[in-house]
Chains A and B, each alone.
Chain A
Amino acid sequence: MSGKKATRAAYGETLVELLAEGVDVYAVDADLSASTTTAKLKAVDEKRLVNVGIAEQNMIGVAAGLSLTDKVVFTGSFAVFGTGRVYDQIRNTVCHGNLNVKIAPTHAGISVGADGGSHQMVEDIALMRVLPNMRVLVPADYRSAKAAIRLAAETHGPVYIRMGRADVEQIDSGTDMLDFGKARVLREGGDVTIVACGVEVGQALSAAASLAERGIEAEVIDAFSIKPLDSETILTSARKTGHVVTAEEHSVIGGLGEAVAGLLSEFPGVLRKPLKRIGVWDRFGASGDFDELFREYGLDAQSIFDVVVQ
Chain B
Amino acid sequence: MSFDQQAIEQRAARMRADILKMVTLAGSGHPGGSLSSTDIMATLYFGDVLRYRPEEPKWDGRDRFILSKGHVAPVLYAALANAGCFDVTELAALRKFNSRLQGHPDHLKLPAVEVSTGSLGQGLSIAAGIAYGLRACEQTEQKVYVLLGDGELQEGQNWEAAMFAAHQRLDNLIAIVDNNGLQIDGRLEDVVSLGSIADKFSSFGFTVFEVDGHDVAELKDAFNRAVEVQGTPVVIIAKTIKGKGVSFMENQAGWHGKAPSDELCDTALKELGTSMSEEVRR
Contacts and interface: CB of A to CB of B under 8 A. Distances in A.
B156 interface: yes
Interface residues of A, number: 30
B122 interface: yes
Contacts of A53: 160, 163-164
Contact of B115 (A50, A57, A91, A97): A97
A262 to B, nearest CB: 27
Contacts of A99: 115
Given A57-B125, A57-B156, A57-B157, A68 B164 contact: no
A67 B128 CA distance: 12
A71 interface: yes
Interface stretch (A58-66, A249-257, A282-290): A58-66
B139 to A, nearest CB: 8
Contacts, number: 104
A58 B118 contact: no
Contact of A58 (B107, B125, B136): B125
Contact of A93 (B64, B126, B136): B126
B198 to A, nearest CB: 22
A68 B133 contact: yes
Interface string A37-72: 000000000010010110101101111111111110
Contact of A64 (B115, B118, B156): B115
**Which of A28, A53, A69, A89 has the most C-beta atoms of chain B within 10 angstroms of its own C-beta?**
A69
A306 interface: no
Contact of B125 (A60, A67, A98): A60
B160 A68 contact: no
Contacts of A57: 121-122, 125, 156-157, 160
B48 interface: no
Interface string B33-72: 0000000000000000000000000000000100000000
Interface in B255-277: none
A228 B106 CA distance: 25
B127 interface: yes
A93 B129 contact: no
A226 to B, nearest CB: 24
B122 A92 contact: yes
A68 B130 CA distance: 6
Interface of A: 26, 28, 47, 50, 52-53, 55, 57-58, 60-71, 88-89, 91-93, 96-99
List the 4 closest pairs (A to B, CB-CB), nearest first.
A65-B129, A61-B125, A69-B133, A55-B160
Interface of B: 64, 106-108, 114-119, 121-122, 124-134, 136-137, 156-157, 160-161, 163-164
